[in-house]
Amino acid sequence: MSDAALQNSSIALLRGQVLDRLRLRDRIFHFSTVAAALIVLAILAGVIIALFIGAIPALCNFGAGFLVSQRWNPVTENFGALAPIYGTLVTSLIAMVIAVPFGLLIAVFLTELCPIWLRRPIGIAIELLAGIPSIIYGIWGLFVFAPFLQGTLQPFLIKVFGNVPVLSELFAGPPYGIGILTAGLILAIMVLPFVTSISRDVFEAIPPVLKEAAYGVGATTWEVVRNVVLPYARVGVVGGFMLGLGRALGETMAVTFVIGNAHRISPSLLAPGTTISATIANEFTEAVGDIYTSSLIALGLILFVMTFIVLAAARYMLLRIDRRMG
């Protein structure tokens, strides 16, 4: 065999070895990604199964009445989840009603109107708000925010809406300081940085040519935001909304400090209440007996299902938007 043939054979062998190594690396990468995805699904399935098994004694004992009963008496082992469910939904609703508009407005200001020299300080302040531990929010809410509301906002709301139908029921009773409204406001402050940061990031990712074209045909800033920025970034905005809602639904320590931890439903937002996460945090270490412990685990299962329903509804809404927008 000539030298040229030997050289070609060596080159071919070398290329084959390189290709084999590349194929092996690709297989390892493929199996690693598949394994990571399966591990996530396995963990999720494990959580669901553990919650369901733990909740079976309470669900079998109380049946569907567990979801519609306000009773919560550890002495007689009579438990119902309605009051925690109500508190969780109402406080989260208050938080999102306040945080989403303010978060979007702040994001629009930072991306469209804010001077360059001011964007970084405001952005850092927002990131610092997101990094504060929830227990700090709870302590601040209990010792500073709640007394402030008790002496200012709550008496004002009682006085202004005292003779207004429906609103008089929402803002009735003595100003305790703590309660459903206080917890909702604390959650709004905690959720605001997440909504703002994600909205700002997706707004900054919009191609400048789209906004420049809108400005070029005479559109105002409001028209650009309404007709270009928000439609283009709708998926990211909804993602920020859902992340904030998930934080609000599952928040524990801050809510526990300021909500009052009362297992009852009151039409007044100023009255004390409780949430699912606050109830579990307060009572799990003190739970004695299988039914008591199982009832708390059942609350965790309900919170898990609520979160899943919210995420599924968000995905469905995004699909509807995509179909409508073509």
| Tens-digit pLDDT profile for residues 189-198 | 999 988 888 8
The residue segments making up the domain with residue 1 are: 1-62
Q: Is 171 helix (H, G, I), strand (E, B) or coil?
A: coil
Helix, strand, coil content of the chain in percent (nearest 5): 80, 0, 20
Mean of per-residue pLDDT scores for the chain? 86
Query: What is residue 259's predicted lDDT score, i.e. its pLDDT?
Result: 92
Query: What is residue 5's predicted lDDT score, i.e. its pLDDT?
Result: 61
Q: What is the pLDDT of residues 236-281, one digit of tens each?
A: 788 788 888 888 888 888 899 999 888 888 888 999 999 999 999 8
Same domain, 14 and 151: no
Q: Enter the tokens of residue 198.
A: 């994600």
Judge whether 280 lies within some domain: yes
The CATH number of the domain holding residue 120 is 1.10.3720.10
Same domain, 181 and 288: yes
* pLDDT over 70 (residue 9): no
Query: What is residue 140's predicted lDDT score, i.e. its pLDDT?
Result: 92
Query: What is residue 87's predicted lDDT score, i.e. its pLDDT?
Result: 92
Same domain, 159 and 105: yes
Structural domains in the chain (count): 2
Judge whether 71 lies within some domain: no
Query: What is residue 145's predicted lDDT score, i.e. its pLDDT?
Result: 92
Q: What is the pLDDT of residues 63-106, one digit of tens each?
A: 888 888 888 888 888 898 999 999 999 999 999 999 999 999 99
Please name the residues in contact with 1: beta carbons below 8 A apart, sequence gap of 6 or more.
9
Residue with tokens 């305790």: 176
Please name the residues in contact with 307: beta carbons below 8 A apart, sequence gap of 6 or more.
246, 249, 250
> What is the rounded CA–CA span in Å between residue 293 and residue 298?
9
DSSP calls for 11-72: HHHHHHHHHHHHHHHHHHHHHHHHHHHHHHHHHHHHHHHHHHHHHHHHHHHHTTHHHH---E
- Whole-model pTM over 0.95: no
Same domain, 93 and 199: yes
Same domain, 263 and 181: yes
Judge whether 178 lies within some domain: yes
Same domain, 134 and 278: yes
Query: What is residue 6's predicted lDDT score, i.e. its pLDDT?
Result: 60
Q: What is the band of 116 on the pLDDT scale with cuts at 50, 70, 90? A: confident
Same domain, 41 and 176: no
Query: What is residue 321's predicted lDDT score, i.e. its pLDDT?
Result: 67
Judge whether 187 lies within some domain: yes
Query: What is residue 188's predicted lDDT score, i.e. its pLDDT?
Result: 93
From 99, 61, 113, 298, select the one nearest 222 (Cα to Cα). Answer: 113
Same domain, 218 and 256: yes
Judge whether 67 lies within some domain: no
Same domain, 307 and 277: yes
Q: Amino acid identity, residue 107?
A: A
Query: What is residue 4's predicted lDDT score, i.e. its pLDDT?
Result: 62
Q: What is the pLDDT of residues 140-174, one digit of tens each?
A: 999 999 999 998 989 999 888 888 888 888 888 88
Query: What is residue 86's predicted lDDT score, i.e. its pLDDT?
Result: 93
